[in-house]
């Protein structure tokens, strides 16, 4: 049974919903029914949302697999928080106008760090 991953999966899902609502808001404001309508604001918000959709699932899957392999609870929380923090920082930095570059950069650093550590931990746990 897994008990830690659902917490971070749920929080990341809420972040994704918030980003999706921002896309919907921009589409309504600019009267764009389908796609981006060539509107920079819609394009930007869609990319922020898509970036979350591209990275969060891999992190969640790796976190769940590490939990199933009995990775220590404290390390699962550290990595879950790192992934969540990275996604929040990236969304804030990339989604702001003008962009908050440090948020975007540190968001990706944290995301890549969590995914990399989880990938290596899963490999190590599988081989031991």
**Over residues 70-89, mean pLDDT:** 98
Q: What is the pLDDT of residues 35-57, one digit of tens each?
A: 999 999 999 999 999 999 999 99
Task: Give the Cα separation of 96 and 56 in Å (integer).
Answer: 20
Confidence (pLDDT) at 101: 98
**What percent of the chain is predicted at pLDDT more than 70?**
100
Confidence (pLDDT) at 75: 98
Confidence (pLDDT) at 70: 96
Q: What is the pTM of this model?
A: 0.95
Delineate the domains of the chain, giving CATH numbers in brackets.
5-127 (1.20.120.550)
Confidence (pLDDT) at 1: 86
CA 108 to chain CA centroid, Å, is: 9
């Amino acid at each position: 049974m897994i008990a830690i991953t659902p917490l971070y999966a749920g929080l990341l899902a809420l972040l994704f919903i918030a980003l999706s609502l921002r896309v919907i808001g921009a589409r309504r404001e600019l009267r764009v029914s389908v796609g981006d309508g060539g509107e920079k604001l819609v394009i930007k918000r869609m990319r922020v949302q898509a970036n979350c959709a591209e990275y969060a699932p891999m992190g969640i899957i790796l976190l769940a697999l590490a939990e199933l392999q009995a990775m220590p609870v404290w390390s699962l929380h550290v990595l879950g928080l790192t992934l969540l923090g990275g996604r929040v920082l990236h969304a804030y930095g990339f989604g702001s106008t003008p962009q908050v570059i440090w948020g975007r950069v540190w968001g990706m650093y944290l995301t890549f760090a969590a995914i990399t550590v989880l990938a290596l931990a899963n490999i190590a746990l599988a081989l031991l």
